[in-house]
Amino acid sequence: MGTATAAMPPPGSKTMHPTLQVIIASTRPGRAGKPIGDWFAEQCRFDGRFDVEVTDLAELALPLMDEPHHPRAREYVHDHTRSWSRTIESSDALVFVMPEYNHGYPAALKNALDYLYEEWAYKPVGFVSYGGISAGTRAVQLLKPVLTCLRMLPLTDQVALAHFTQFLTDGVFAPDHRTAAACAVMLDELSHTTGELARLRLPSAAS
């Protein structure tokens, strides 16, 4: 008997993947978040299950929350908010690349979250955290209640980088194989939950 082969897409067709938004949360000059975020984005692109976009909050430069209306109304008056809304609205899953500041998460990340409401709903979120011996995990635990209030699904599997500076050389992050393995585990869970939660974001069928 012949061996079955997978059907190939027609010539010129484009495979559609869910969009993964990688958000670099630190805004400090010289921060490690940028090279760590670049490394993680490359891991995601190599994995191939997502269309990967990267948002650097330092470059986004959102001011402190300056919208007069509640985010639930989506009556935005500033272009920076409308642009941020479009970015998150078009994303299917998110990963926050985040440090730990005094056992907590960066203020810039909380500010970016508070700008929006409906755009975050029913989307899974993973974490690449970094720090000293705690690897940024305390900050992640503090952030999770905020995310569940926004109806997001925080993953349990995460990439936690303890003493991360050992893997940084001349602005390039090059971790060991254990870190890459943790990344693969988180992407497996992210891929699974992204597909499941996408159904919750579909408009209700007309009766």
Q: How far is Cα 92 from Cα 85, in angstroms, rounded to an integer? A: 13
List the pLDDT tens digit at each of the 207 positions of the chain. 343 333 334 444 445 899 999 999 999 999 999 999 999 999 999 999 999 999 999 999 999 999 999 999 999 999 999 999 999 999 999 999 999 999 999 999 999 999 999 999 999 999 999 999 999 999 999 999 999 999 999 999 999 999 998 998 999 999 999 999 999 999 999 999 999 999 999 875 343
Q: How many CA atoms lie within 13 A of 117 on its CB side?
A: 11
Strands 159-162 and 51-56: unpaired
183: alpha, beta or left, given left = phi > 0 and alpha = psi -120 to 50? alpha
Query: What does the pLDDT read at residue 203?
Result: 77
Residue 124 pairs with which residues in a beta bridge? 153
Q: How far is Cα 190 from Cα 154, in angstroms, rounded to an integer? A: 10
Q: How far is Cα 181 from Cα 159, in angstroms, rounded to an integer? A: 9
Query: What does the pLDDT read at residue 1?
Result: 38
Query: What does the pLDDT read at residue 15?
Result: 57
Q: How would you class 203 by CB atoms within 10 Å of its CB: exposed for 0-12, middle for 13-18, buried for 19 or more?
A: exposed
Asked whether the beta carbons of 186 and 179 are under 8 A apart, the reply is: no
Query: What does the pLDDT read at residue 8?
Result: 39
Query: What does the pLDDT read at residue 204?
Result: 58
